[in-house]
Amino acid sequence: MNDLDKHILKIINEELSKNGTAYNIRKDGKSIERNSNDNIKIESKKDKDGINILVKENTINGYVHIPVLITQSGLSDKVYNDFYIGKNSIVTINAGCGIHNDKHKDSSHNGIHRFFIEEGSYVKYIEKHYGEGEGKGKRILDPVTEVHLGKNATLEMDTAQIKGVSSTIRKTKAVLDDGSKLIINEKIMTHESQTAKTIFDVKLNGKSSSAKVTSRSVATENSYQEFVSKVVGNNECFGHVECDAIIKDNAKVLSDPKILAQHIDARLIHEATIGKIAGEQLIKLMTLGLSKKKAEETIINGFLK
Amino acid sequence: MIELVNISYEIDNKKILDNINIKFDSNFTVITGPNGSGKSTLAKIIMGIIKPTSGKVLYNGEDITNYSIDKRARSGISFSFQQPVKFKGLTVFDLIKLSSNDELDFNSSCDILSKVGLCAREYINREIDDSLSGGELKRIEIASIFVRNSNVTIFDEPEAGIDLWSFKNLISIFKELREKNNSKTIIISHQERIISIADKVIILENGKVKDDKDYLLNELNLKKCPKLGGDVNE
Ligand SMILES: Nc1ncnc2c1ncn2[C@@H]1O[C@H](COP(=O)(O)OP(=O)(O)OP(=O)(O)O)[C@@H](O)[C@H]1O
Ligand SMILES: [Mg+2]
């Protein structure tokens, strides 16, 4: 790994400590470093490009890091990663992707992640997406996430894309069994003429299953964002989708939520807000001595924290 | 010291403030008067949130009428809102830290919360959003303004929504402020306990200053206030 790799790694995956942790570092379409341990095994897929991450049942405080670095302009990388989480485990997964593109050709990464989370397990999934570089070449990230939550299992997913990604289409699908829980916190900020689209498709099939999807986004300059979600309640369940967008300059945001209840005891809520930074918030921070610009930054940083 | 010279404010052809002249030369001035009389408007004109239609705002003799809000804040004027502003994502600690110019650390921020009767541990990391009650928001607002140690501090109805027990703490904070040298406090209030510790009371009615002690004595039932010539009981 060179200094550039380390720099990007730090931005997307700050806590990577290699001491005994299970990890896989992928750079420019290849796995360059890998480690498995007693509880967590990482192996290459035989039929296609990608890895299987196998977590033994009853693994407590397991950590997995699977950062992806793209530094080669013009590279189009596609990878299939499957997570098999055994019963009654507690696991944190850190997956980030950083693209550095200084040239004029487009670089892209397309990660297809599938989660099979067995009964009673808790998984925290953290994903940071980041792009940088002066070139005209686009930096494209199109992740697909598919989640299968077993009985009483929980997935908490924190995703953030704050800077430098020219275009993203993010698809997340989840199917929930009895008593399982899905919590998603998404943060997106777009600049220039970037575009970002997120699509959530959640099926609450299990009794007492619940999903809470929170999306906070800031669209600035000429960027465009789309938020699409569909939550279906097929049992006694609870679903709450909240998407909150701040727009600036000439940015555009489309929010397209759907909730479908197909069971008498399904309770589904959707809240969507789009608007510029509230004038009173700016005024309040200015009365504390912040310039208008600093006040704006403070409000946005807090919102996306 | 703040001085208002011939301040008028009109909106939609309605006169909200009509030729106001006030020198805030006392340490502790209370502005009172009926709802809609223009008190908050007056405070916002001092802070620069509203520009007057005519007239001047002087600060230590300097004309600051065209200064921006943040410039006034940096030169030592503070304002505690009648209705505190909510934020998504900013915590109580963030606000207190910003408000104190990054000078207060975690522990001193906790101390100031205790001063307004909030259990610091429970509140310091809360977001300043709809999940806080009206009284909690109000006390956080007051605490965050108190830490600014400004030359001029304006509180707009600090007592609103605050329970009796916390109100006692509040009075002691204001008494502390009153004793401070080189700091002037202006409080908009309807509360007799606050009015009774004032060095000077200004009554606003229909956008005009009303110089009428009887009003205070009768309308606000402040017979016990020594400053106004009532019975001494303190
Ligand atoms: N933007 C506006 N447009 C029209 N009228 C306004 C506007 N802002 C204030 N007013 C009016 O100006 C008057 C004074 O308002 P202000 O908020 O200063 O009153 P106040 O004395 O602080 O009242 P309160 O005791 O209820 O807080 C009110 O009648 C109010 O309706
Ligand atoms: Mg008012």
Three-state helix/strand/coil letters over chain B: CEEEEEEEEEECCEEEEEEEEEEECCCEEEEECCCCCCHHHHHHHHHCCCCCCEEEEEECCEECCCCCHHHHHHCCEEEECCCCCCCCCCEHHHHHHHHCCCCCCHHHHHHHHHHCCCCHHHHCCCECCCCCCHHHHHHHHHHHHHCCCCCEEEEECCCCCCCHHHHHHHHHHHHHHHHCCCCEEEEECCCHHHHCCCCEEEEEECCEEECCHHHHHHHCCCCCCHHHCCCCCC
Cβ separation of B99 and A288 shorter than 8 Å? yes
Q: How far is CA B186 from CA B13, B20, B51, B183, B198, in A?
A: 29, 16, 19, 10, 9
Nearest chain B residue to A300, by CA: B89
In the prediction, which pLDDT does B227 show? 54
3-state secondary structure of A274: strand
In the prediction, which pLDDT does A68 show? 93
Domain layout of chain B by residue ranges: 2-228
3-state secondary structure of A201: strand
In the prediction, which pLDDT does A15 show? 67
In the prediction, which pLDDT does B119 show? 81
* Atom 30, ligand 1: residue with shortest CA distance: B36
In the prediction, which pLDDT does A177 show? 98
In the prediction, which pLDDT does A116 show? 98
Residue ranges near ligand 2 (ion) with Cβ within 5 Å = B 40, 82
Cα–Cα distance for residue pair A59/A89, rounded to 1 Å: 5
More confident residue, A136 or A288: A288
Cα–Cα distance for residue pair B153/B52, rounded to 1 Å: 20
In the prediction, which pLDDT does B233 show? 41
Domain layout of chain A by residue ranges: 3-278
| Residues in chain A within 8 Å Cβ distance of B94 | 302
Cα–Cα distance for residue pair B137/A110, rounded to 1 Å: 45
Residue ranges of chain B whose pLDDT lies below 50: 229-234
Sign of the torsion angle spanned by Cα atoms B174, B180, B181, B182: negative
**Exposure of B43 in the CB half-sphere (CA atoms within 13 A):** 26
Cβ separation of A302 and B69 shorter than 8 Å? no
Cβ separation of B88 and A285 shorter than 8 Å? no
Nearest chain B residue to A294, by CA: B70
Nearest chain A residue to B95, by CA: A285
A233 is written with which tokens? 């309640």
| Residues in chain A within 8 Å Cβ distance of B87 | 281, 299, 302
| Residue A218 pLDDT class (50, 70, 90 cuts) | very high
* Of A91, A146, A94, A159, nearest in space to A122 by CA: A91
Q: How many CB pairs under 8 A join A and B?
A: 53
A66 is written with which tokens? 């699977």
In the prediction, which pLDDT does B172 show? 86
- Say if residue A169's pLDDT is above 60: yes
Q: Determine the CATH number of domain B2-228.
A: 3.40.50.300
- Say if residue A14's pLDDT is above 80: no
In the prediction, which pLDDT does A11 show? 86
What mean pLDDT, rounded, does chain A reach? Answer: 94
Mean pLDDT value of segment A253-275 = 96
Please write the tens of the pLDDT for every residue from A47-78.
999 999 999 999 999 999 999 999 998 999 99
Q: How far is CA A147 from CA A44, A63, A154, in A?
A: 20, 19, 11
Q: Of the ligands numbered here, which is closest to the C-alpha atom of B16?
A: 1
A27's enclosing H/E stretch is strand A22-27
Cα–Cα distance for residue pair A133/A166, rounded to 1 Å: 11
- Report whether residue B16 contacts ligand 1, using a CB cutoff of 6 Å: yes
Contacts of A121 (CB under 8 A, 6+ apart): A85, A86, A87, A88, A89, A90, A91, A150, A153, A154
In the prediction, which pLDDT does B115 show? 82
Q: pTM of the prediction? A: 0.86
Distance from CA of A218 to the nearest CA of B (A): 13
Please write the tens of the pLDDT for every residue from A113-159.
999 999 999 999 999 999 998 888 999 999 999 999 999 999 999 99
Q: Is B60 on the interface with A (CB under 8 A)?
A: no
**CB-CB contact of A165 with A128 (8 Å):** no
Distance from CA of B55 to the nearest CA of A (A): 22
Q: What angle do CA B49, B51, B56 make, to 5 degrees?
A: 120
- Chain A residues near any Cβ of chain B (below 8 Å): 216, 244, 278, 280-281, 283-292, 295, 298-299, 301-305
| Residues in chain A within 8 Å Cβ distance of B74 | 289
- Closest ligand 1 atom to Cα of B204: 21
